[in-house]
Chains A and B, each alone.
Chain A
Amino acid sequence: MTKQLILDNVTVQFGGLKAVDGVSTAIAMGERRAIIGPNGAGKTTLFNAITGVVMATAGKVVFEGEDVTRSPVHARAAKGMSRTFQITNLFPNLSVRDNMRLAIRGLSKAKFSLLGRPELAAADDAEAERALGLSRLVGRSDTLVKELSYGEQRQLEMAMALVARPRILLLDEPAAGLSPAERVIVADIIRSLPRDLTMIIIEHDMDLALGLVDWVTVLNNGHLLVEAAPADIRGNKDVQDVYLGKARRHA
């Protein structure tokens, strides 16, 4: 299998703190990967280093054969990286429809149309409707995002990441803070993703995460602790010590 994303000794240092410390792993084209670990393990920071929100202070990020370690966020997005945020990051004063328009035009030249009509082209519009359908947001297009429920906002996060036509999708705790019923929706959305789309998911809920992926990376204190198949994760002694123990205490 060809490796789509290669992390080579990626380190992110904030002052004296190494939030990510020498993480190396490789993700294959079409693979589904979970990144788990206790709070503060460095999962979100690793996503930030992959997508360019923060720059790796050491090591390399190689995406589809190209070293993107120093590329800005928008350039990596243009290469096909799409993500959701652990802390909802939408356009609260715009309607759902306008949020989708911004998501779908991010990589198209239409975004530079200075005097054009605001509507999407027919094909794009169909795509946006499809993503909204998948995310259970049909009929909500006119609503301002700040008036959506928290669960709906999380669903919109997914819809926007999806509609950007990603080559790799990075989901940062998409189900965090959701009710059990809403979690089911999120899991459904993930299951209905195109099978050839590479996906990395950070998820605190083991039951949810392990059922969705091919392979699991466990982080602890910025270090890569273990990599294993989902079936072997629960039985792993190190994981039990460091993650399950803490998770149970935090719960």
Chain B
Amino acid sequence: MSRDLASVPAGAGPAGPSAVALTPARLIAIAIAGLALVAVPYMLPNYYVSIATQVLIFAVLAMSIDILAGYTGRTPLGHGAIFGTATYVTIYWSTTLGGSPWTGMLVGVAAATTVAAIFALLAIRTSGVYFLLLTLALGMIVWGVCLRWTSVTGGENGIRGSVRPLFIATHSAFYYLVLTAVAVITFVMWRFVNSPFGLTLRGIKDSESRMRSLGYNVPLHLFIAFTVSGFFAGIAGAIYAMFNSFVSPSTVALTQSVAGLLMAITGGIGTLFGSFVGAAAIISLENFVSSYTERWLSILGLMFVLIMVFAPEGIVGRIRMILARSKG
């Protein structure tokens, strides 16, 4: 759709945006980005360290959305609910039930993965706008449950409670823990999208009928992809519980799904790492305009339109196109 690679000359270098080769240029880019991320707590005040932490967490959510939107060609609008399920369960476990936060995170990720598997069963036979609307509706159900099941979720008031163990109480200690975790998660996701299974997803995006005639059970592959995607969204949500120490229906709301999707799109659908750029852009914007939810939703909508009109391939996608062109 939007990944216009027609400008890449035939036979010149990597085929498609997710070629696996770690070229020197890519290694240098990764090293610079890594150093910059490590330096954040030394360079910036706590307020910004906290924003950087948030960017890392939401980049994982955006990458999980990219697995579906960028690789299978199915755009989900319910990942906020999957993410938030993990947040709710983690905080409920460690606050209301008084359990260990680490176990809480594990249970939270398991719960999110289960929710994703249920979403998947219902949604994988659809595509296009039907997939979008169905995942949106499923997310709304989760939101409704969180709002109404007051005895467990605290309704509109949500649940408050510090989940973070003492040794990561400071902004920078927590930042480094999250940075390490996100580095590992990103590596695993990168391996996933470039694996033989990841290739089947790109095949499905291009031609489902050809995939079937080659012997692929397309719905099964989509089910696995959705569940894996939900697993990663759940990890992001569980880490977010430690970050935020508070959860309310707005964590599972549509705005969250839209923001996550917009981060993936802004960075560049199907680029995986673009999610970091997209998360940084959207979260900076959010803090810049920092205000009421209604206005925030309008701004997200406006962002969405601007990106789709002026850079449908996203920031990283656009950079790759320019690089490919200058090489040719």
Chain A interface residues toward B at CB < 8 A = 51, 53, 72-74, 77-78, 82-83, 85, 89-95, 97-98, 101-103, 105-107, 110-118, 140, 142-144, 146-147, 160, 164
Contact = CB atoms under 8 A, between A and B. Distances in A.
A90 B207 contact: yes
Contact of A92 (B196, B199, B206, B215): B206
Interface stretch (B9-17, B89-97, B110-118, B257-265): B9-17
A147 B199 contact: no
Which 8 pairs between the two chains have the least Cβ-Cβ distance?
A95-B15, A106-B214, A106-B215, A77-B215, A91-B206, A73-B212, A113-B196, A147-B10
B154 interface: no
Interface of B: 3, 5-6, 8, 10-11, 13-16, 20, 188, 191-192, 194-200, 202-203, 205-207, 209-218, 224, 228
Contacts of B206: 90-94
B16 to A, nearest CB: 6
Contact of A114 (B3, B197, B213): B197
B16 A95 contact: yes
Given A101-B196, A102-B203, A110-B196, A94 B15 contact: yes
B214 A77 contact: yes
Contacts of B215: 74, 77-78, 106-107, 164
B16 A144 contact: yes
A82 B198 CA distance: 23
A236 to B, nearest CB: 33
B20 A53 contact: no
Contacts of A116: 195-197
Contacts of A117: 195
Nearest to B197: A114
Contacts of B218: 74
A210 to B, nearest CB: 27
Contact of A93 (B5, B194, B195): B5
A29 B200 CA distance: 32
7 contacts: A73-B212, A73-B213, A74-B217, A98-B15, A102-B200, A111-B200, A147-B10
B210 A91 contact: yes
B64 to A, nearest CB: 14
Contacts of B6: 146-147
B197 A113 contact: yes
Given A118-B20, A143-B11, A98 B207 contact: no
B10 A115 contact: no
A51 B213 contact: yes
Q: Which of B205, B214, B216 has the most CB of A within 10 A?
A: B214
A1 B5 CA distance: 51
B8 A91 contact: no
B210 A90 contact: yes
* Interface residue SS majority, chain B: helix
A60 B203 CA distance: 31
B214 A164 contact: yes
A78 to B, nearest CB: 5
Contacts of A73: 209, 212-213
Nearest to A146: B6
Contacts of B194: 118
A106 B192 contact: no
B195 A140 contact: no
Contacts of A106: 211, 214-216
Contact of B195 (A85, A89, A115, A143): A115
A83 B199 contact: no
Nearest to A83: B213
Nearest to B20: A118
A51 B212 CA distance: 10
Contacts of B209: 53, 73, 85, 89
A193 B14 CA distance: 32
Nearest to B191: A115
B197 A111 contact: yes
Contacts of A110: 196
A142 B6 CA distance: 14
B15 A102 contact: no
A115 B15 contact: no
A164 B16 CA distance: 24
Q: Which of B188, B206, B213 has most A Cβ within 10 Å?
A: B213
A142 B8 CA distance: 12
A145 to B, nearest CB: 9
Given A101-B199, A113-B195, 11 more contacts: A82-B214, A89-B210, A90-B210, A93-B16, A94-B206, A102-B214, A105-B196, A110-B196, A115-B191, A142-B13, A147-B6
